[in-house]
Amino acid sequence: MTTLSAPPVTEPLRPLELFGTDQLLSEDERDIAATVRKFVDTRLKPHVSDWFESAALPKELAKEFGKLGLLGMHLDGYGCAGTNAVSYGLACLELEAGDSGFRSFVSVQGSLSMFSIYRFGSEEQKQEWLPRLAAGEAIGCFGLTEPDFGSNPGGMRTRARRDGNDWVLNGTKMWITNGGLADVATVWAQTDEGVRGFVVPTDTPGFTANNIHKKLSLRASVTSELVLDNVRLPASAELPLARGLSAPLSCLNEARFGIVFGALGAARDSLETTLDYAQTREVFDRPLSSFQLTQEKLANMTLELGKGMLLALHLGRLKDGGGVRPEQVSLGKLNNVREALAIARECRTILGGSGITLEYSPLRHANNLESVLTYEGTSEMHLLSIGKALTGQAAFR
């Protein structure tokens, strides 16, 4: 008579080990990811639940991010690290594995505030602001979205009018990350010549930042309303190379690229947290991880995480090689944020009641990803961007 024995227990793998994605990275890229992950694990994760609960982000973290070389790391010169796009993406992934608020801070500082000055600013503007922003000695924000104009920024009501040699700005911007912390804001406004950008020190008379409270998402992040009431600026405050709406939209594309990687960090942390929990949580005298339904969930989530990582790396190589199209970034942002949110929610189901506490990360990540799903272009707008690329017809209006 043959006796059937239980299959041997194998050494568990981490989700992305199944895809061998580390083998697709250079040694420098792996080192950057490992350095940021260690910083997140030792400096940020021990405090993130307190910061999330108290809806605070310590301002002094800016200098720590700067010392690590994270601020504007994909830009060249002016104190910036000059890394490739993939390295920047991997840093975003590791930061968002801690919390979307950390990646949002770095993303807004480097890909919106700094990139707008780097790409469209005068040499004087670059010399004045970029070294300080790269070091975290100054904090920047990016004022494009308005209370009634998110997906349609071309309808913005903020206006800049000439008054002699000066510009005078009036208007309101909404949902501005870092606004209440910022020393400088890139503000976009309608003029008689079209949309223009302005570098606005936040201590300019008439400029006010009002922090938004009672948020259910991105709580470890400062989100603000910017009010410009007859803010008078010299002619030198205008970004000389920014002409039309394509200028701020190109900045948004830079930030979206970081999200393509960043959202995967939230998904990976959710999945790794849940795997560890399921291995030790006993249900009916067995580890929760040994049940078929649990393994089905874990396998499906791992599949989507790995697919998202392969897509992110492919887009990163395109960006480093010769450029990536905005519609391709839309593909990555749409897919990876959508799947990351689904993973975080599914992980919460495996954690059961424990999953609603800040002791475990998935529900915090899911709450944050609700914001990530909306900012830098809603899912609906990315779907329409992809649809336009496929059909040649714009369906935005």
Does 376 participate in catalysis according to the annotation?
yes
Q: Are residues 154 and 58 both part of a single domain? A: no
Q: Are residues 147 and 126 both part of a single domain? A: no
CA atoms of 247 and 223, how far apart (whole Å): 23
Residue ending a domain, among 223, 243, 263, is: 243
Residue ending a domain, among 243, 266, 290, is: 243
Q: Is residue 380 part of a domain?
A: yes
Q: Are residues 210 and 80 both part of a single domain? A: no
Which domain covers residue 279, as residue numbers? Answer: 246-391
Give the CATH number for residue 310: 1.20.140.10
The number of distinct structural domains making up the chain is 3
- Which of the residues 124, 238, 376, 380 is marked catalytic? 376
Residue ending a domain, among 175, 209, 243, is: 243
pTM of the predicted protein model: 0.94
Q: Is residue 8 part of a domain?
A: no
Q: Are residues 88 and 26 both part of a single domain? A: yes
Retrieve residue 346's tokens: 């599914």
Q: Are residues 274 and 352 both part of a single domain? A: yes
Q: What is the chain's pLDDT, residue by residue, as a tens digit (397 residues)?
A: 555 555 555 788 899 999 999 999 999 999 999 999 999 999 999 999 999 999 999 999 999 999 999 999 999 999 999 999 999 999 999 999 999 999 999 999 999 999 999 999 999 999 999 999 999 999 999 999 999 888 888 899 999 999 999 999 999 999 999 999 999 999 999 999 999 999 999 999 999 999 999 999 999 999 999 999 999 999 999 999 999 999 999 999 999 999 999 999 999 999 999 999 999 999 999 999 999 999 999 999 999 999 999 999 999 999 999 889 999 999 999 999 999 999 999 999 999 999 999 999 999 999 999 999 999 889 999 999 999 999 999 998 7
Q: Are residues 27 and 74 both part of a single domain? A: yes
